[in-house]
């Protein structure tokens, strides 16, 4: 094993460093991230060994002397540039950023952002990383605008004025509470600056998702950035407040009431389950050598809104998740933070705990052993970049420089980064550069913005380093994979194998870049494991597609051998979409992805089925499933859902809306969005979710209430009252397909819930089964026949939603089509058979809403026999419980043999019956600025609905007041 490049002198210029290397990108843009080399001879302290003595040493009398000795006249002459020092990494400024159109319509529309950031969770909230290769361009310090962002919700709007008045409150188990403005913090405590690398615990998560999808979204390898953070030491604030900590031994795992042991931090951002907050152990927080800061600045600028303006916590060496943004409250307590996300986020659960288990078994999240604080050792390659090439012909360079970043946690240093060209059989050392060490040469003091930037008194390492290794092109030519492994001073090394875990956090197996040779041996092409976000590509996806297992990847000759042995991949048979659903004349018209993207809107939605593009605009009004089911897939590939739900006739109708063939390559199928927010409701409008049937309450000869489980017992369903949800099952010759087998055909139907939206952990749906007729002439309902076969406690169904054009809002308001808000005075509900179910949830909400007591309700429920009346007991109970006198319920039975005892309606829903049992119709015309306060909600078999609509119109009900489900 030998070093392929000789150690460089500390004066080697950036140009020199790169001149002999072939590079993947445009060389001129790339600046070496390395600077001077101080060697690895700097002595280090043992982390965690700091004690009261060393804290005092850090606080040092020298510091205080310097401060008092500096005359203020001199201070004003200090020019930030010169005082900062030219030998130090340049401080990047936020570029020219503006609010982006992509954020229009989101709560963050006002936030200025850089469009180069790769969005990992769609538009909102902002979860982004810069393009990996940009780390090479930006270097040691990342400009705020290119700094990765992880926000669980909207960015709180804080004006300059708000920032002036911003108060940081410290309270709880302290002798002295404080409530300081940022100005007061600056006055009372020493301003300090530290270079700190922030890493989201999810960095490199996509690699884990490629093995088995876990609970989180797809971070690439750039969920990491570094800034110069300016603020005051948290330790100083704690010294001032004096935590109350009576001495005494205590069992480690129990709290001693009244004894301060935790420091809880809270931001102002409002999330579905409360504010963002987490905590630190008090002893750590008091340890100045750990460098925890209450920071207002980054890179010489105020924090940007995305990064926590005006104040945030910085915890060097720990995961980003601990560094609370928009910080305004600190509580000293005898117990750890009780914030929702302190428990349900930033954990590495044992590898055997599946995502499903993690969702349903709370104890994993409450076990203190699985919390993550300190970062683990990690590294990634910047060159070669994904898809870059290297000329290996005679004209090409003789050597190539591989480089990248590395970091570790807890203040430890990276001590080696090794590169293997034979997938781990042998390793060679790369050259490590620690730009952070430049700040150890001489302290900066009294800087007008940075205050004190002094790493001469600490041996902690809080920032990433860069490594590089020159290898002969000839050797790369022989290799099929570059593997990278970093090791820190505690000899913790990146493992060969992935430690898959449900949150897919702290992924740090070897970073491997596959090498491909082109056929004529003229160039090499490099392939990273994954690409950030939904971008396709990378060897992990390729291996999945080839039927190989990327968890135990094999490259080059090894892969070729094992591929031969593995069986052929089964490709599911394709329905002839072209034959059935396309217009002959348009089959050759090519529609570009960009054109489809332009129609990713609600007014002129285009979508893709198979290889073809359809314009759904003209069908929005007519679509029996509501316009939402079209607008939801606008700009997307809707093949799977479309094929599952539509009849042959519906498919044929698609010809009229066909506009052409999608350009080669097709659309990238959008992946399921964020799941790692444990506060998110169960239902997701863009993603099918699995749910177990936990219970089935049979309530009549042909109907039952089905109870489906959410991911967790305390999870909201996320189905606003009045909306429906799709359920789907797989049908193989009339038999339900169990488990995750992808056989059979998908069958899907929409249902409204029986339970209300405030029920947590479960969703109840009342469903009537359509059985085949006794003579066998009429077949049973295809979906309900499958549903009947489901075994409670065992079988799962898939759900997606919510959707629908009607939503109930408190106060007796019906929202239609997302924008009309009808403040009801009267509402008629007309149901036929199981048509009562979609009406039920709105009725129940109206009856239980104290602010809707004024709404007059008339219910007409039509069935064949008394036994057919669905959920009659439930209806009666809800009515009785409401105590309302302005609600009428009238059952009508159509069975000619109905018993003479029956006192309510008989026969069909005639015009006369409607006139008699409903209130008079609202005025035919109302002024343009008003909405109707009287509506009819109608749901039943299509012939019944048609007849009722005719009668209503004849009576004088304007069409706009009749809402059909
Ligand atoms: N108030 C608040 N603080 C927060 C978060 C948040 O959503 N709200 N996200 C956390 C997570 S998970 C990370 S990784 C870091 C990201 O910091 P950045 O967005 O400035 O890079 O902020 C942390 N602090
Ligand atoms: Mo994070």
Closest-CA residue to 716 (of 761, 755, 746, 672): 761
Predicted confidence (pLDDT) at residue 746 exceeds the cutoff of 90: no
Give pLDDT, residue 314. Answer: 98
Let me know whether 9 and 119 are in one domain: yes
Distance CA 550, CA 497 (A): 11
Indicate the average pLDDT of the chain. Answer: 85
How confident is the model over 173-195, as pLDDT tens digits?
999 999 999 999 999 999 999 99
- Per the domain annotation, does 667 fall within a domain? no
Percent of the chain with pLDDT over 90: 56
Does the CA dihedral 301-306-309-311 come out positive or negative?
Answer: negative
> What mean pLDDT comes out for the span 217-234?
98
> What mean pLDDT comes out for the span 685-701?
86
Q: What angle do CA 557, 563, 569 make, to 5 degrees?
A: 155
Q: Containing H/E element for 917?
A: helix 911-917
- Per the domain annotation, does 69 fall within a domain? yes
Active site residue 345: yes
Burial 424-444 (b: 16+ CB within 10 A, else e): eeebeebbbbbbbbbbbeeeb
CA of 152 to the centre of ligand 1 (A): 7
Quickly count: other Cβ atoms within 10 Å of residue 399's Cβ: 17
Count: domains in the chain: 4
CA of 293 to the centre of ligand 1 (A): 15
Closest-CA residue to 307 (of 291, 319, 288, 320): 320
483, two tokens: 């593997």
CA of 201 to the centre of ligand 2 (A): 5
For a ligand 1 pocket test, name from 200, 330, 371 the mutation site with the most ligand atoms within 8 angstroms of its C-beta. 200
> What mean pLDDT comes out for the span 463-468?
98
Instruction: Name the DSSP letter for residue 585.
Output: G
For tokens 């390659």, name the residue. Answer: 381
Give pLDDT, residue 171. Answer: 98
Annotated catalytic residue, options 203, 328, 346, 684: 346
pLDDT band at 73 (very low <50, low <70, confident <90, very high): very low
Active site residue 465: no
Q: Give CA separation, 692 vs 503, 726, 799, in Å.
A: 21, 15, 10
- Per the domain annotation, does 670 fall within a domain? no
Distance from chain centroid for Cα 103: 16
How confident is the model over 771-821, as pLDDT tens digits?
877 777 777 788 888 998 999 888 899 998 888 888 899 899 998 877 788
404-408, 926-930, 955-959: the lowest-pLDDT one: 926-930
Give pLDDT, residue 43. Answer: 30
Percent of the chain with pLDDT over 70: 87
- Whether residue 386 has its Cβ less than 6 Å from ligand 1: no
How confident is the model over 818-870, as pLDDT tens digits?
778 899 999 999 999 888 888 888 999 999 999 999 999 999 999 999 988 98
- Whether residue 311 has its Cβ less than 6 Å from ligand 1: no
- Whether residue 550 has its Cβ less than 6 Å from ligand 1: no
The residue that leads in pLDDT, 1 or 600, is: 600
Predicted confidence (pLDDT) at residue 616 exceeds the cutoff of 70: yes
Distance CA 313, CA 323 (A): 5
User: Do residues 727 and 833 make contact, with C-beta atoms less than 8 angstroms apart?
Assistant: no
Give pLDDT, residue 577. Answer: 79
CATH number at residue 951: 3.40.50.80
Q: HSE of 923 in the Cβ direction (CA atoms, 13 Å)?
A: 8
Let me know whether 510 and 619 are in one domain: no
Closest-CA residue to 149 (of 256, 303, 369, 258): 303
Give pLDDT, residue 773. Answer: 75
Give pLDDT, residue 607. Answer: 93
Give pLDDT, residue 57. Answer: 28
For a ligand 1 pocket test, name from 151, 196, 298, 371 the mutation site with the most ligand atoms within 8 angstroms of its C-beta. 151
- Whether residue 482 has its Cβ less than 6 Å from ligand 1: no
Let me know whether 736 and 823 are in one domain: no
662-666, 669-673, 855-859: the lowest-pLDDT one: 669-673
Let me know whether 733 and 836 are in one domain: no
pLDDT band at 547 (very low <50, low <70, confident <90, very high): confident
Predicted confidence (pLDDT) at residue 6 exceeds the cutoff of 50: no
- Per the domain annotation, does 682 fall within a domain? no
Predicted confidence (pLDDT) at residue 672 exceeds the cutoff of 70: no
User: Among 627, 662, 697, where does a domain finish?
Assistant: 662
Q: Containing H/E element for 118?
A: strand 118-119
Let me know whether 419 and 506 are in one domain: yes
> What mean pLDDT comes out for the span 624-629?
69
Q: Which residues sit opposite 616 in a β-bridge?
A: none
Active site residue 346: yes
User: Among 647, 662, 677, where does a domain finish?
Assistant: 662
pLDDT band at 125 (very low <50, low <70, confident <90, very high): very high
Q: Give CA separation, 414 vs 12, 430, 956, in Å.
A: 22, 12, 80
Let me know whether 470 and 513 are in one domain: yes
Instruction: Name the DSSP letter for residue 371.
Output: B
Predicted confidence (pLDDT) at residue 562 exceeds the cutoff of 80: no
461, two tokens: 């390492």
- Whether residue 323 has its Cβ less than 6 Å from ligand 1: yes
Predicted confidence (pLDDT) at residue 920 exceeds the cutoff of 60: yes
Q: What are phi and psi of 135, to 5 degrees?
A: -65, -35
* R_g (Cα) of the chain, nearest Å: 33
Give pLDDT, residue 37. Answer: 31
> What mean pLDDT comes out for the span 728-744?
84
Let me know whether 769 and 883 are in one domain: no
User: Among 560, 585, 605, where does a domain finish?
Assistant: 560
User: 714: domain range?
Assistant: 689-803
In order, the DSSP letters of 836-895 are HHHHHHHHHHHHH-GGGTT-EEEEEEEESSGGG-TTHHHHHHHHHHHT-SSEEEEEEE--
In order, the DSSP letters of 151-218 are -SSPPPP--HHHHHH-EEEEEESBSS-EEEEHHHHHHHS--EEEEEEEE-TTTTHHHHHHHS--SS--
Let me know whether 427 and 479 are in one domain: yes
- Whether residue 267 has its Cβ less than 6 Å from ligand 1: yes
How confident is the model over 37-67, as pLDDT tens digits?
322 222 323 333 322 222 222 222 222 222 2
> What mean pLDDT comes out for the span 927-945?
86
Give pLDDT, residue 669. Answer: 53
CA of 321 to the centre of ligand 2 (A): 4
Helix/strand number for the chain, H first, E second? 27, 47
Distance CA 93, CA 86 (A): 16
> What mean pLDDT comes out for the span 581-587?
87
Let me know whether 779 and 815 are in one domain: no
Closest-CA residue to 757 (of 721, 790, 730): 721
CATH number at residue 615: 3.10.120.10
Predicted confidence (pLDDT) at residue 670 exceeds the cutoff of 70: no
- Per the domain annotation, does 566 fall within a domain? no
Let me know whether 776 and 842 are in one domain: no
Q: What are phi and psi of 828, to 5 degrees?
A: -105, 135
Put simply, whether the predicted model's pTM sits higher than 0.75 gets the answer no
Give pLDDT, residue 561. Answer: 62
Give pLDDT, residue 30. Answer: 35
Give pLDDT, residue 254. Answer: 75
Distance CA 792, CA 254 (A): 40
> Judging by DSSP bridges, how do beta strands 826-832 and 856-863 pair with one another?
parallel
pLDDT band at 753 (very low <50, low <70, confident <90, very high): confident
Let me know if 247 is exposed, middle or buried by CB neighbors in 10 A (0-12, 13-18, 19+).
exposed
Contacts of 565-573 with C-beta under 8 Å, sequence gap 24+, read 572/742
Among protein residues, the one whose CA lies closest to atom 11 of ligand 1: 321
Let me know whether 370 and 279 are in one domain: yes
- Whether residue 320 has its Cβ less than 6 Å from ligand 1: yes
Predicted confidence (pLDDT) at residue 273 exceeds the cutoff of 60: yes
Predicted confidence (pLDDT) at residue 745 exceeds the cutoff of 50: yes
> What mean pLDDT comes out for the span 261-272?
95
Let me know if 857 is exposed, middle or buried by CB neighbors in 10 A (0-12, 13-18, 19+).
buried
Residues in the chain: 965
- The atom of ligand 1 lying closest to the CA of 147 is 21
How confident is the model over 316-371, as pLDDT tens digits?
999 999 999 999 999 999 999 999 999 999 999 999 999 989 989 999 999 999 99
- Per the domain annotation, does 1 fall within a domain? yes
- Whether residue 205 has its Cβ less than 6 Å from ligand 1: no
Burial 446-482 (b: 16+ CB within 10 A, else e): bbebbbbbbbebbbbbbbbbbbbbbbebeebeebbbb
Distance CA 388, CA 524 (A): 8
- Per the domain annotation, does 331 fall within a domain? yes
pLDDT band at 560 (very low <50, low <70, confident <90, very high): low
Distance CA 963, CA 835 (A): 13
CATH number at residue 699: 2.40.30.10
pLDDT band at 70 (very low <50, low <70, confident <90, very high): very low
Give pLDDT, residue 624. Answer: 66
Quickly count: other Cβ atoms within 10 Å of residue 80's Cβ: 12
Let me know whether 527 and 581 are in one domain: no
Give pLDDT, residue 668. Answer: 64
- Per the domain annotation, does 681 fall within a domain? no
> What mean pLDDT comes out for the span 665-688?
69
Let me know if 761 is exposed, middle or buried by CB neighbors in 10 A (0-12, 13-18, 19+).
middle
Q: What are phi and psi of 119, to 5 degrees?
A: -80, 130
């Amino acid at each position: 094993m030998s070093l392929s490049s000789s150690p460089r002198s500390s004066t080697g210029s950036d140009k020199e460093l790169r001149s002999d290397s072939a590079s993947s990108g445009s060389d001129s843009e790339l600046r070496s991230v390395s600077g001077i080399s101080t060697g690895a001879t700097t002595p280090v302290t043992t982390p965690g060994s700091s004690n009261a003595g060393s804290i005092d040493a850090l606080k040092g009398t020298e510091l205080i002397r310097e401060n008092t000795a500096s005359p203020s006249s001199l201070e004003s002459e200090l020019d930030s540039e010169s005082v900062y020092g030219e030998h130090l990494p340049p401080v990047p400024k936020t570029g020219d950023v503006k609010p982006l159109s992509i954020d229009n319509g989101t709560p963050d529309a006002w936030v200025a952002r850089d469009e180069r950031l790769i969005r990992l969770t769609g538009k909102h909230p902002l979860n982004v990383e810069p393009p990996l290769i940009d780390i090479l361009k930006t270097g040691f310090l990342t400009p705020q605008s290119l700094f990765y962002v992880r926000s669980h919700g909207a960015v709180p709007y804080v004006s300059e004025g708000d920032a002036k008045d911003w108060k940081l409150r410290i309270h709880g188990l302290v002798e002295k509470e404080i409530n300081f403005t940022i100005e007061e913090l600056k006055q009372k405590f020493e301003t300090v600056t530290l270079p700190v690398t922030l890493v989201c615990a999810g960095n490199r998560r996509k690699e884990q998702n490629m093995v088995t999808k876990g609970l989180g979204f797809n971070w690439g390898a750039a969920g990491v950035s570094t800034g110069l953070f300016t603020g005051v030491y948290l330790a100083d604030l704690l010294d001032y407040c004096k935590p109350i900590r009576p001495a005494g031994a205590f069992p480690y795992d129990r709290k001693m009431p009244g004894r301060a042991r935790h420091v809880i931090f809270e931001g102002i951002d409002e999330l579905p389950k409360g504010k963002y907050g987490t905590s630190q152990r008090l002893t750590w927080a008091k340890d100045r050598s750990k460098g925890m800061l209450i920071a207002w600045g980054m890179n010489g600028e105020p924090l940007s809104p995305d990064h926590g303006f005006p104040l945030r916590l910085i915890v060097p060496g720990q995961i980003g998740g601990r560094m609370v943004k928009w910080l305004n409250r600190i509580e000293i307590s005898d117990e750890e933070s009780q914030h929702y996300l302190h428990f349900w986020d930033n954990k590495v659960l044992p590898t055997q705990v599946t995502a499903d288990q993690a969702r349903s078994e709370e104890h994993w999240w409450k076990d203190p052993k699985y919390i993550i604080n300190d970062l683990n050792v990690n590294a990634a390659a910047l060159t070669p970049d994904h898809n870059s090439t290297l000329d290996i012909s005679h004209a090409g360079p003789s050597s190539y420089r591989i480089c990248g970043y590395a970091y570790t946690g807890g203040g430890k240093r990276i001590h080696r980064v090794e590169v293997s060209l034979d997938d781990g059989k042998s390793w060679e050392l790369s050259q490590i550069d620690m730009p952070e060490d430049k700040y150890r040469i001489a302290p900066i003091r009294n800087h007008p913005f940075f205050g004190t930037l002094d790493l001469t008194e600490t041996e902690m390492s809080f920032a990433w380093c860069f490594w590089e290794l020159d290898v002969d092109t000839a050797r790369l030519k022989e290799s099929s994979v570059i593997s990278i492994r970093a090791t820190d001073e505690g000899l913790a090394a990146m493992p060969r194998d992935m430690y898959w875990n449900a949150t897919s956090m702290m992924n740090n197996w070897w970073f491997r870049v596959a090498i491909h040779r082109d056929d004529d041996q003229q160039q090499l092409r490099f392939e990273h494991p994954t690409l950030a976000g939904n971008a396709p590509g990378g060897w992990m996806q390729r291996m999945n597609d080839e039927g190989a297992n990327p968890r135990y990847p094999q490259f080059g000759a090894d892969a070729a051998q094992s591929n031969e042995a593995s069986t052929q991949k089964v490709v599911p048979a394709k329905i002839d979409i072209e034959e059935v659903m396309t217009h002959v004349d348009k089959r050759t018209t090519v529609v570009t992805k960009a054109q489809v993207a332009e129609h990713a809107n609600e007014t002129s939605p285009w979508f893709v089925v198979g290889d073809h593009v359809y314009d759904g605009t003209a069908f929005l009004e007519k679509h029996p499933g509501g316009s939402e089911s079209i607008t939801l897939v606008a700009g997307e590939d809707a093949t799977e859902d479309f094929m599952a739900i539509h009849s042959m006739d519906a498919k044929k109708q698609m010809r009229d809306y066909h506009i052409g063939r999608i350009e080669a390559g097709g659309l990238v199928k959008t992946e399921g969005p964020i799941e790692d927010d444990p506060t998110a409701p169960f239902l997701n409008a863009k993603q099918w979710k699995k749910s177990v049937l936990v219970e089935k309450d049979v309530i009549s000869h042909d109907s039952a209430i089905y109870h489906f489980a959410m991911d967790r017992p305390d999870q909201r369903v996320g189905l606003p009252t009045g909306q429906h949800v799709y359920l789907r099952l797989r049908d193989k010759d009339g038999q339900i397909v169990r488990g995750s087998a992808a056989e059979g055909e998908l069958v899907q139907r929409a249902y409204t819930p029986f339970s209300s939206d405030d029920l947590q952990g479960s969703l109840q749906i009342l469903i009537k089964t359509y059985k085949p007729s006794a003579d066998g002439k009429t077949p049973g309902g295809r979906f309900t026949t499958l549903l009947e076969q489901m075994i409670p406690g065992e079988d799962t169904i898939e759900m997606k939603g919510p959707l629908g054009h009607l939503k109930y809002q408190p106060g007796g308001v019906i929202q239609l089509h997302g924008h009309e808000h009808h403040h009801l005075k009267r509402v008629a509900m007309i149901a036929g058979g199981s048509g009562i179910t979609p009406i039920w949830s709105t009725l129940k909400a109206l009856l239980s809403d104290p602010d809707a007591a004024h709404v007059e309700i008339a219910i007409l429920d039509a069935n064949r026999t008394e036994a057919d009346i669905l959920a009659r007991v439930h209806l009666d109970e809800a009515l009785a419980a409401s105590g309302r006198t302005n609600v009428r319920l009238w059952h009508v039975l159509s069975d000619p043999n109905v018993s003479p005892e029956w006192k309510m309606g008989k026969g069909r829903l005639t015009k006369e019956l409607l006139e008699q049992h409903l209130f008079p119709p609202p005025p035919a015309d109302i002024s343009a600025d008003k909405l109707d306060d009287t509506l009819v909600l109608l749901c039943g078999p299509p012939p019944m609905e048609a007849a009722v609509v005719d009668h209503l119109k004849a009576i004088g009900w304007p069409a706009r007041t009749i809402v059909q489900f």
